[in-house]
Amino acid sequence: MEQSRPLRTLVFIPAWNEEASIEGVIADVRTHLPEADILVVDDGSSDSTAERARAAGVLVASLPFNQGLGSALQTGYLWALREGYDFCAHLDSDGQHPAAEVARVLAEVQADRADLALGSRYAHQAEPLPGAELQGEDYQATWTRQIGINVFRLLLTLATRQRFTDTTSSMRAANRRVMRLFSESYSPDFAEIESLQLAVREGLRVEEVPVRMLERTGGASFLTPLRSTFFIFKGLVVILVGMFKPRHAKAEQ
């Protein structure tokens, strides 16, 4: 009898000028997800992010210039789909996402309890996986980010009729149904928010998994109070427009 092939998993890490943290993130993924292949999507970095990733021995996809998080994530989903992976997961490159928690999110998809699973900082107080020790301080959002999170949480819950607590989380895992959908359609500006709305509208199973996140280990966030206010405004427009977009053809199994 022919043996079934082993299931393959890709963990991809979108990165833009994260030379200070990328090696540590890669090492963490290798420790807690040793069976997964690792891809760093270099979003046009001007520092040594790509070189350090290659030196660490992982796959690197370099975009010709900085195109934003949405494009980097879509590149990862497209890579996973075209290379025949069964599952994929992604996490931030700044050290905020412990790989032990990514494994928790990925397990929901691998167990077929969700098509798309996302780590939530706010579902309830999460405990780390057995044997995992999280170093550093738990993540604390700025007041402007907290306002945005609460506004998006409310509006996306109303728009999708599904409760969400952490709509901007970019710690996620997916199966091939999600890979197909996101490879075809993914917002370049509001990837986290619009992708959740799109997945629910297409009838995919989207679940939140309680996780812990940490403060970033290097670099700096690009969000200032002014940018955060503009981000909130544009995000509201995206959600409203998304409510009236036509549905895609149903994703295949």
Establish if 207 belongs to a structural domain: yes
Establish if 2 belongs to a structural domain: no
Q: How far apart are CA 94 and CA 98, in angstroms?
A: 10
Give the tens place of pLDDT for each residue, 130-183.
Answer: 444 444 445 455 555 566 677 777 777 877 889 999 988 999 999 999 999 999
What domain count does the chain have? 1
170 is written with which tokens? 């970019």
Amino acid at 239: I
Domain range spanning residue 125? 9-242
Residues 6+ away with beta carbon under 8 Å from 18: 25, 45, 49, 93, 94, 218, 219
Establish if 202 belongs to a structural domain: yes
Establish if 253 belongs to a structural domain: no
Establish if 251 belongs to a structural domain: no
Establish if 156 belongs to a structural domain: yes
DSSP string, 139-166: P---HHHHHHHHHHHHHHHHHHTS--S-
Q: How far apart are CA 192 and CA 170, in angstroms?
A: 6
Give the tens place of pLDDT for each residue, 31-40.
Answer: 999 999 999 9
Establish if 4 belongs to a structural domain: no
Q: What is the pTM of this model?
A: 0.80
Q: What's the pLDDT at 12?
A: 98
Q: In this structure, what CATH number is given to the domain that contains residue 89?
A: 3.90.550.10
Residues 6+ away with beta carbon under 8 Å from 243: 159, 197
